[in-house]
Amino acid sequence: MTNALLSQVARGELHAVEDCIRRFSGAVWNLARRMSPTEQDAEDAVQEVFVELWRAADRYDPSLGSELTFVMTIARRRLIDRDRRRGRTVPTASLAEPEIIPDQPAEHPAEIADEASRVQDAMDRLRPEQREVLQMSLIQGHSHQQVAERTGLPLGTVKSHARRGLMRVREMLGHSPSQTPGGAGAT
């Protein structure tokens, strides 16, 4: 087992648990605010994400992506699940507007900065419409209907842009199968 933070968490090392909360809670919190109808709902979601993270920490494989990506996989999955249970009623961007978030580099290991750089490069190489749809969906937390309304594009076209864009990003990142917390089949 490696000395990666999540490996230490999996071993129950409390200093790593503390570091994990300190390092990742901000990102999860801001995503949760994007995808939650209220502050309380966002806090509940973040709690669920971290409990799930403690459970899944031993499944993290450092060779397959950054720890932050692993955490955000759990976060996205949990938030989408909560959203679906609510019947997709979230007025996105109602909580966390980007202007209230200081655009300063957070303290993350080099691996995360490197991965972020590769993702940015991949996004830059997408067709503009694909990039726009993915940004609105994955970063701003809009549903496909909301993206269609905001861009004026037909729903099918929105889905098509998202699919093709994500497939290209996936190819450019060279993500290989088997990196997900919770194993196969989790949604």
Site for other proteins in 41-70 (CB under 8 A): 43, 46-47, 50-52, 54-56, 58-59, 64-66, 68-70
Give the type of residue at 21. I
Task: Give the C-alpha separation, 92 to 118, whole Å.
Answer: 27
Sign of the torsion formed by the C-alpha atoms of 128, 132, 134 and 135: positive
| Footprint on residues 98-157 left by other proteins (CB under 8 A) | 100-108, 112-113, 115-116, 119-120, 123, 134, 137-139, 143-144
CA–CA distance from 109 to each of 2, 67, 114, 124, 177 (Å)? Answer: 16, 10, 9, 23, 24
- Closest CB to other proteins among residues 2, 117: 117
| Given 37, 80, 129, 151, the residue binding other proteins (CB under 8 A) | 80
72 is an interface residue for other proteins by CB under 8 A: yes
Supply the DSSP symbol for 92: T
User: For residues 157-186, which are near other proteins according to CB under 8 A?
Assistant: 159, 162-163, 166-167, 169-170, 173, 175-180, 182-186
The yes or no reply on residue 93 touching other proteins (CB under 8 A) is no
State the nearest-atom distance from the C-beta of 102 to other proteins, in Å: 6
Nearer to other proteins, 2 or 101 (CB): 101
Task: Report which of 13, 10, 12, 19 is spatially closest to residue 108, judged by C-alpha positions.
Answer: 19
On whether the CB atoms of residues 30 and 96 are closer than 8 A, the answer is yes
Rounded Cα distance, 86 and 10, in Å: 32
CB of 4 to other proteins, least distance (A): 15
Please select the residue that binds other proteins; options are 4, 5, 6, 28, rule is CB under 8 A: 28
